[in-house]
Chains A and B, each alone.
Chain A
Amino acid sequence: MELGASIAFWILAATSVMSALAVILLRDVFRAALFLVLTFLAVAGLFVTLRADFLAAVQVLIYAGAIAILIIFAIMLTRNVQSGNPSNRLLGAVSFLSAILLAAIVYVALNTHWPQAKEAPLEATTGPLADFIFNKYVLPFELASVLLLAAIVGAIVLVKEK
């Protein structure tokens, strides 16, 4: 099964990188959004190969199911969709910054000592995750939900007709 796992990893990794590239390189905004969905799905697949099945399902549910739809909705509300993804004067500066960021990430990834886990991965991850969220880290979790609630209320107040 080791061989199968590494084949799956390379296919998923290649898919996610290629479709992420397609997202920024395609001129058709709608197709770019579809490739973004493909990226999300490939990342979910990577979670599966890491035995994080709960995280994978949530990734599909929230990113491919909800966020992608929101992005597509935003595209529909954009003017001049037909003219496509316009080029930008800041292209040079942004490429420079992204190159620095990429170099930093690669440097850190190569120079970190990655310890091998001694224990086998958990069979069921749902229960332990819930334990962490609702016992140990309940305060940050609640803070995040209050923040989200405030954001929702704010959005409603902003768009509500007088």
Chain B
Amino acid sequence: MDWVYDLFPKLHAAIEGWLRSILPPSIESAGVYIVMGVLSAFLLINVPLILVMVLIYMERRLLGRFQHRLGPNRVGWQGTLQVIADGIKLLTKEDIIPANVDRWVYNLAPVLFAIPVLLVFAVVPFGEEIYLTDLNIGILYIVALTATSTIFVFMAGWASNNKYSLIGAMRSVAQLISYEVPLVLSIVGVVLVVGSLSMREIVDKQSIPFILLQPLGFLVFIVAVSAELNRSPFDLLEAESELVTGYHIEYSGMKFGMFYLVEYIAGLAYSAVITTLFLGGWKGPILPQYVWFVAKVLLVFAVLIWIRATLPRVRIDQIMGFAWKFLFPLALINIFITALEVLLWPEGFPAWLVVVNLGVALGLLVVMQVLFRFPGATRHVVPQALVGRG
């Protein structure tokens, strides 16, 4: 059973050896380089896509559970083939391009939208030996890539020549810029502890998962992530009741499918980042590393679904206030505390710090909860019908 554990490095070595045996020596190194590169790129794009199918199925079934209904359960065993059926349906649909759209921008937006999200997987370590590259700016590279996706949302919203898609795009940009700040600042805590931006090193240094050492950073990060992913309670840019579907309202067929797909690929990418930063990445007993990694990613995504199913949508000014007045101060305090701890214990943290950090996080959350009010919200809502008027 040993082959299960180092399956991917062994496969890599086997394919490389076979290539070296069949290629003439004059083009051997270049040929191996190109073929292995194309193969890794193919895998890096398609493995996430397969995982995305799992995620979509998981989300629809789990949402069904949360909402006391069944969810898709007809196509295939327990509805497992529903995603494929939907994909075929989208592919065969008529591709409508409305009049007066900016054709080039309109058609390019869904294609370009996919690029930054797929590029994220280049630095994600699926296991100790399973990664495409270990950039020493790893996490910064991911932040930089995901920051560009706003532009493509805006391209779609503007080019559609539709007021609802434009409003959706405006909201999305305002929201994404605001949540970018706590998102990046909450990563800084992890980076301070590790002393490196490299994704592999971040996992290597996690003898205790950082969710325990950095509980505050984790909470801020996961909230900011669900805002970046435009998921409820932050899905204002596609609020069905106000904007129909927001920036991709004019898209149909597979172009709509691309937007739908990319949202889930982004969900997968962020779940992988959370796993790497806070849950110890590939680390775990007995099972092979890649199994642990995928299991943790699915768990994180399940939590995101849970958040989505539980909380109602909030108003745009409340969302902005929440980012700047609640998450931003918490992220700053987290950086300050972490820097202090790193200065006090440069050799490594004692285990009791976990308890202290959890306590500090909880205390700060309570304090902030008292200080922060949603704009326009009353603290204790008493239904007027129940108030006795004498």
Contacts and interface: CB of A to CB of B under 8 A. Distances in A.
A64 B135 CA distance: 20
A50 to B, nearest CB: 14
B137 A69 contact: no
Nearest to A44: B144
A137 to B, nearest CB: 20
A66 interface: yes
A61 interface: yes
A123 B144 contact: no
A57 interface: yes
A140 interface: no
B221 interface: no
A124 B170 CA distance: 38
B173 A69 contact: yes
B151 interface: yes
B197 interface: yes
Interface in A12-58: 28, 30-31, 34, 37, 41, 53-54, 57-58
Contacts of B104: 31
Interface in A49-105: 53-54, 57-58, 60-61, 64-66, 68-69, 72-73, 76
Contact of A65 (B135, B148, B155, B158): B148
Contacts of A66: 147, 177, 180
Interface in B106-164: 135-137, 140-141, 143-145, 147-148, 150-151, 154-155, 158
- Sorting the interface of chain A by its residue count into under 10, 10 to 19, 20 to 34 or 35 or more gives 20 to 34
Chain A's interface: helix, strand, loop or mixed, by majority? helix
A151 B295 CA distance: 47
Given A30-B102, A53-B135, A73-B173, A60 B148 contact: yes
The secondary structure that dominates the B interface is helix
Contact of A126 (B102, B105, B137, B158): B137
Interface in B212-269: none
The bracket for how many chain B residues form the interface is 20 to 34
A58 B144 contact: yes
Contact of A64 (B136, B148, B158, B197): B148
A17 to B, nearest CB: 21
Contacts of B170: 76
A109 to B, nearest CB: 29
Contact of B150 (A60, A65, A76, A126): A65
A128 to B, nearest CB: 12
A123 B136 contact: yes
Interface string B10-47: 00000000000000000000000000000000000000
A33 to B, nearest CB: 9
Given A37-B151, A69-B173, A72-B151, A57 B140 contact: yes
Contacts of B102: 28, 30-31
A141 to B, nearest CB: 17
Interface in B162-176: 170, 173
A108 to B, nearest CB: 32
A85 B214 CA distance: 50
A64 B155 contact: no
Nearest to B146: A65
A34 B105 contact: yes
B173 A72 contact: yes
A40 to B, nearest CB: 9
A57 B150 contact: no
A93 B204 CA distance: 60
A77 B91 CA distance: 37
Contact of B144 (A34, A57, A72): A57
Given A69-B173, A69-B177, A126 B151 contact: no
Given A66-B180, A69-B173, A124-B136, 18 more contacts: A31-B105, A34-B151, A34-B155, A37-B148, A53-B141, A54-B140, A57-B137, A57-B141, A57-B143, A58-B140, A60-B145, A64-B148, A65-B144, A69-B150, A69-B154, A72-B173, A73-B173, A126-B136
25 contacts: A30-B105, A31-B104, A31-B105, A34-B155, A37-B151, A53-B136, A53-B137, A53-B141, A57-B141, A58-B140, A60-B145, A61-B147, A64-B144, A64-B147, A64-B151, A65-B144, A65-B180, A66-B147, A72-B151, A72-B154, A72-B173, A73-B173, A123-B136, A126-B140, A126-B197
